Structure 1
Amino acid sequence: MRKVLFEAHRGGGSIASRHQAPVGPEEPDESGKTAILARQAKRESAARTYARHLPIVPVRAEGMTVYGADGRVYLDCLAGAGTLALGHNHPVAIGAIRRVLDSGAPLHVLDLATPIKDEFTETLLGVLPRELAADARIQFCGPSGADAVEAALKLARTATGETGLIAFTGAYHGMTAATLAASGDTSVRIAARVSDAGVTRLPFPQDYRCPYGVGGEGGVRIATERLRRLLADPGSGLTPPAALLVEPVQGEGGVIPAPDDWLRAVREITRAHRIPLIADEVQTGLGRTGELWGVDHAGIAPDVMVLSKAIGGGLPLAVIVYRSSLDRWTEGAHAGTFRGHQLAMAAGTTTIKYVREHDLAARARKVGERLERALREAARQYPVVGDVRGRGLMLGLEVVYPDAAPDPLGARPAAPGLARRLRAAAFERGLLVELGGHHGAVLRLLPPLTITDAEADRVIGILTDALAQLSRDPRP
């Protein structure tokens, strides 16, 4: 299949080509695809997202390759929003699922102990930061990252007796009430009538659009000092925090890595004030950023880690791992019907082992650096790209108005309309990508950690060609 992919995609500006495999009776043709998309638009809610901008009906997939019902072949740089660490239908994950199905083991066990669950727990603890894993407890949550963040906040409030929370601008933690309150998207939070009372939101430090107007080390120093003084000042108005919640790399917020020095300072300050530090590793976890965990770049161990997406091997699974001193819950304090997902635990175990044994974190770092270098070169050639940033295989290109006046730090205004056109141009050429960022102007790359060099070259070629087209006609 991969040979078919590369042959089909030969040539920089070609439209996604038709694969040669016959379409079986279970796979619709072009007209069938159109009918399916029409029925989806009629039946599904107005809240649907990816389906609006990526009109594809996937029927088969392998690795990074997705085959559409219309016969077109696509490279997947979404990977289930980072869920598919090994890509689609990897043999080790599929094999683990089949073994469970063939064994007759129960698939649904609530929170009962099983050999499958025990192996998953042992495997996960074996790859977590040692300081945390040495004295950890695990809570299996409902199978979504949002539920796990909710659990982490509930845990911290129970353990500390406090109700406040320190969170950050640009953050994204989920779509439930407490996670929306902690997130930075005001429009979604207000529309849902979710109160963020008790949440203190601080600027997230970054270079390109430094919230303090200085950038670099100066911005990190100011961000650090602001947190330090906020906690030390009895007149700050801060609701006593039960926790500080942070993403090692803000994903939906525009692929913004937390500066390592700042994250180390946050760890030091929260420890000094006995405030639990919660690391939301739902998207950054299991090799995505070029280290096994996003916090590994700064060399810290949080008090709570929120894990989902990749740890389930492509199936729904979410847990929180936390220091035993925080385990003040009573029976049933947090539960969820599907927290005993045996297939996900089996697929997760084999995926974690595969990532570790094949050092896919290092692979993500190497390929990510290669992609980033190439995209920075494209940015120098095509000024519609204001910034290229990220870590490992979690990368973003911020699209800007090339002719607009820059701010004092050199950043031009975000151009969400141009970003949407870039996404569409990439799709026409056979690349599945999405947008994020404060203005929806950051094109995000989240390919599987198993991406080949040839696939990376193809991604570069498609994006460079799409940028060239956009630069020739940079209308909004």
Structure 2
Amino acid sequence: MSPTVDTAAPAGDAILRRQRIRESAARTYARSFPIVPVRANGMTVEGADGRRYLDCLSGAGTLVLGHNHPVVLEAIRRTLDGGAPLHLLDIATAEKDDFTTALFEALPPAFAARARVHFCGPAGTDAVEAALKLMQTATGRSGALAFTGAYHGMTAGALAVTGSVAVKAPLPGGGEVTRLPYPYPYRCPFGVGGERGAELSAAYTERLLDDPAGGVTAPAAMILEAVQGEGGVVPAPDDWLRTMRRITADRGIPLIVDEVQTGVGRTGAMWAVEHSGIEPDAMVLSKAIGGSLPLAAVVYREDYDGWRPGAHTGTFRGNTLAMAAGAATLRYVAAQGLVERSRTVGARMAARLAGLQGHLPVIGDVRGRGLMLGVELVDPAGTPDSCGALPADPALAVRVREACLQRGLIVELGGRHGAVLRLLPPLTITDEQADAVLDQLADAVEAAARAQP
């Protein structure tokens, strides 16, 4: 009998080699995670080499139910078996009507009562573009207020309101964007930290807008994230968000809240704005609303619906499968209490991560909301700043990410210096999986810190 030959690993190596040759230099996650997934279920991903991984990236927060959840697969199969048209531009379908109903049922009631929805191209960045264009049309103004640390996408308008200099520098121009300081207690832009930093941010914003010599023309909108994701998992204080709502409302400035990553229970509320109770003028949605398939939309107050037909259009706005999967996901999250699950499991994970700081001095800060958690890694031998924050250690963060992958854990980085470990597990994470994630992460941090060059 011929010996059994395992060809999976060599096949995976060949796929990775072809990817390096064929795909652009802009690829990102493929560099961080040189694996070839062949199967996935829930939180578990299996590579071509047979190794299994716990996925704490979840499609950058897209997979709130994890990979291939039965309710999502059933919705997709039902749609396919029923013969529904898979592509119809923005023509009405039963699937779109059902998704819109499920979405409006999930939105904050007061907001939903007077809202309109516009389906965009399949990525969140297009929904940001749509929201900005909508408010420019409604106000007749062109500028925007955005924040340090923000991430809103990679197309031109979305990139203009993004804070990261690294992704903006190669491009000409930046649009009429006024950059405002986002409250970041650990690395406070004012050097004071805590609640005082948020108070100064609000005071600065209000005074700048009211200063006739401040250089800021009346903007079309303010756009912000209630929890910055790519910016390093930085939650905005609820009082600060309420103040931003007051400042914009008093001055007739529409407020856009980017819920692309925070929506559908991620932060321990169905929508991150619900923690503060504010009602924005528009919410930008994507990722989880498509039930793992591409879907993006902007929901806004009907007062702003001044567009003419075709004012913001696109070929891929009628993704029938995504709408079926999205409606099933929204209803499942609500019916199964996964918002509360996100809140309680997230708090328990955050508490244990904070406890690691006592014996792992390379952990400078632990923060987040719900199952959107961040661990900032620092150089304990460095000189603290005026707030007591130690220098970020991006090299250590890379080693920790690699050590996590070796231990079967997928964790990505973010933050100002790429030194924040970001945890975005599915809301369906079990207690046992949460413990395994924390055990593997702690072991990886400790090992990477010992290997400090």
Say whether the fold is shared (TM-score over 0.5).
yes
User: Distance between the aligned counterparts of 1:35 and 1:334, measured in 2?
Assistant: 42
Return the TM-score normalized by structure 2: 0.98
How far, CA to CA, are the matches of 1:30 and 1:127 in structure 2?
A: 44
Would you say the 8 A contact 1:164–1:198 is kept in 2? Answer: yes
- How many matched pairs? 450
Alignment of 1:1-16 (within 5 A): none
Match of 2:160 among 161, 177, 181: 181
**Pairing 1:282–2:260 present:** yes
Are 2:105 and 1:105 equivalent residues in the alignment?
no
Offset, 1:471: 2.7
Q: Does 1:190 align with 2:169?
A: yes
Instruction: Note the C-alpha offset of 1:197.
Output: 3.2
For residue 41 of structure 1, report the CA deviation from its aligned partner: 0.5
Q: 1:263 aligns with which of 237, 241, 248?
A: 241
- The equivalent position to 1:409 in structure 2, one of 353, 371, 387, is 387
State the TM-score, normalizing by the size of structure 1.
0.93
Contact 1:379–1:386 (CA under 8 A) maintained in structure 2: yes
Corresponding residue number in structure 1 for 2:10: 31
Give the drift of 1:181: 0.5
Tell me whether 1:96 sits opposite 2:75 in the alignment. Answer: yes
Q: Using the alignment, how far apart are the partners of 1:53 and 1:220 within structure 2?
A: 34
* Per-residue deviation, residues 2-30 of structure 1 (Å, max 9, x unmatched): xxxxxxxxxxxxxxxxxxxxx9x9x9511
Structure 1: 5+ residue stretches without partners: 1-22
Pair 1:68-2:47 in alignment: yes
What secondary structure, in the 3-state scheme, does the structure 1 residue paired with 2:298 have?
Answer: strand
Structure 2 counterpart SS, 1:348 = helix
Equivalent residue in structure 1 for 2:131, among 152, 175, 181: 152
Task: State percent identity of aligned pairs.
Answer: 61
Task: Give yes or no for contact 1:199–1:239 (8 Å, CA) kept in 2.
Answer: no
For structure 1, which segment, 307-316 or 205-214, has the greater mean C-alpha deviation from structure 2 after superposition? 205-214
Whether 1:239 and 2:217 are equivalent positions in the alignment is: yes
SS at match of 2:358: helix
2:286 corresponds to which of 282, 297, 308: 308
> Does residue 365 in structure 1 map to residue 373 in structure 2?
no
* 1:57-456 correspondence runs (5 A): 57-193=36-172, 195-456=173-434
Q: CA deviation at 1:473?
A: 2.6
Kept after mapping to 2: 8 A contact 1:198/1:239: no
Instruction: Give the drift of 1:408.
Output: 2.1
User: Is the contact made by 2:396 and 2:449 (CA closer than 8 Å) also made in structure 1?
Assistant: no
In 2, the alpha carbon distance for the partners of 1:192 and 1:448 equals 35
Helix, strand or coil: the match of 2:16?
helix
Q: What is the distance in 2 between the residues matched to 1:197 and 1:34?
A: 43
Equivalent position of 1:10 in the other structure: none
**Aligned-pair distance for 1:361?**
1.0
Tell me how far 1:126 sits from its aligned partner: 0.9
Alpha-carbon separation, structure 1, partners of 2:7 and 2:411: 24
Does 2:19 correspond to 1:46? no
Deviations 1:419-441 (A, max 9, x none): 00000000000000111001111
What is the SS of the residue equivalent to 1:381?
coil
Contact 1:165 1:239 in 2 (8 A): no
1: distance between equivalents of 2:20 and 2:319? 31
Gaps of at least 5 residues in structure 2 are none
Deviations 1:146-202 (A, max 9, x none): 000000000000000001100001100001000110001112112132x22310001
CA distance in 2, matches of 1:105, 1:34: 38
Task: Kindly state the Cα deviation for residue 332 of structure 1 after the two structures are TM-superposed.
Answer: 0.1
